């Protein structure tokens, strides 16, 4: 468990809150727009280097600082060094945000460079989904994790993939080309590459699912 670090009054943290992980730097307009309209940018260690190279500055840097080349004395934001090697830097950032009530969160850069990190980050999304309002935005998808009943804004023929985090006893979908109707949904690739039929779809699930929604262009 990470220590709760008080946010300094002299540097308020404004919504929207963005975490930039140290994966592939965003290039799709949907992801870049999130970054350029952020109220607060929280970088995980080495992602701060990439952010600065692209003309933006972080408000917070969190991690073990084995990748960041930023001069701590010159940095004007909040520098949170956590040397714990049992958790990834993204895990540390999410835990820090949870302890300091920074939500909702959008996470960028959480995929595409190393497959082990990508899978690990999806597990983090599932683990924190009950405690934080959180979504991942990649160059292809907005990814969220849910259980129970949830409606989603969509567009016709939007690519929608639903993957179970766990074996699910019952799932029902509405507004998708290939519906699931009160049926078991075991861990498999069955839910990949569905399509939205209109401007909304609904998923009702007894267990957690990852939901992938493609960008509009």
Question: Tens digit of pLDDT for each residue in 19-60?
Answer: 999 999 999 999 999 999 999 999 999 999 999 999 999 999
Q: For residue 2, is the peptide bond before it cis, meaning its omega torsion is within 30 degrees of 0?
A: no
One domain, residues 86 and 117: yes
Query: Quick check: is 4 in a domain?
Result: no
Dihedral sign, CA of 36, 59, 138, 167? negative
Question: Rounded to whole angstroms, how far apart are CA atoms 116 and 68?
Answer: 21
One domain, residues 135 and 148: no
CATH of the domain at 33: 3.40.50.10240
| Residues 138/31, Cβ–Cβ less than 8 Å | yes
pLDDT value at residue 73: 75
Q: Look up tokens 């945000």; give the residue.
A: 97
One domain, residues 37 and 81: yes
Query: Quick check: is 58 in a domain?
Result: yes
Considering the entire predicted model, what is its pTM? 0.92
Q: End of a domain among 139, 172, 197?
A: 139
One domain, residues 107 and 174: no
- Residue numbers of the domain that contains 207: 144-214
pLDDT value at residue 11: 54
DSSP reduced 3-state for 125: helix
Q: End of a domain among 139, 173, 206?
A: 139
One domain, residues 179 and 87: no
CA nearest neighbour of 128 among 85, 186, 87, 188: 87
Q: End of a domain among 139, 166, 193?
A: 139
Task: Write out residues in the chain with pLDDT < 70, as ranges.
Answer: 1-11
112 Rama class: left (phi>0) / alpha (psi -120 to 50) / beta: left
pLDDT value at residue 137: 98
Query: Quick check: is 5 in a domain?
Result: no
The dihedrals phi and psi of 3, each to the nearest 5 degrees, come to: -70, 145
DSSP reduced 3-state for 120: helix
Instruction: Please enumerate in sequence order all residues whose Cβ is within 8 A of that of 178, keeping only pairs 6 or more positions apart, or say none.
Output: 194, 195
The two most distant CA atoms of the chain are separated, in Å, by 58
Question: What does DSSP assign to residue 156?
Answer: T
pLDDT value at residue 82: 85
Domains: count for the chain: 2
For the stretch 96-100, contacts whose Cβ atoms lie closer than 8 Å and that sit 24 or more positions apart, written own/partner, are 96/2, 96/5, 96/42, 96/62, 97/17, 97/19, 97/42, 97/132, 98/128, 98/131, 98/132, 99/2, 99/3, 99/4, 99/5, 100/4, 100/5, 100/7
Write out the E strands in the chain. 17-20, 40-44, 60-63, 78-81, 105-108, 134-137, 141-153, 159-164, 168-174, 183-185, 194-195, 200-214
């Amino acid at each position: 468990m990470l220590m709760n670090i008080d946010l300094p009054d002299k540097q308020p943290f404004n919504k929207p809150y963005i975490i930039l992980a140290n994966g592939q730097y965003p290039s799709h307009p949907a992801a870049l727009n999130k970054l350029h309209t952020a109220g607060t940018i929280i970088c995980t260690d080495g992602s701060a280097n990439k952010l600065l190279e692209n003309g933006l500055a972080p408000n917070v840097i969190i991690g073990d600082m084995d990748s960041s080349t930023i001069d701590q004395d010159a940095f004007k934001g909040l520098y949170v060094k956590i040397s714990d090697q049992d958790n990834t830097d993204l895990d540390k950032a999410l835990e820090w945000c949870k302890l300091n009530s920074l939500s909702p969160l959008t996470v960028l850069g959480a995929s595409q460079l190393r497959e082990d990190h990508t899978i690990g980050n999806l597990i983090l999304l599932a683990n924190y989904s009950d405690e934080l309002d959180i979504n991942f935005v990649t160059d292809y998808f907005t990814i969220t994790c849910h259980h129970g009943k949830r409606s989603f804004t969509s567009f016709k023929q939007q690519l929608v993939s639903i993957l179970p985090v766990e074996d699910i006893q019952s799932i029902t979908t509405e507004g998708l080309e290939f519906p699931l109707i009160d049926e078991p949904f075991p861990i498999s690739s069955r839910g990949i590459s569905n399509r939205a039929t209109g401007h909304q779809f609904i998923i009702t699930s007894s267990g957690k699912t990852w939901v992938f929604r493609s960008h509009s262009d």
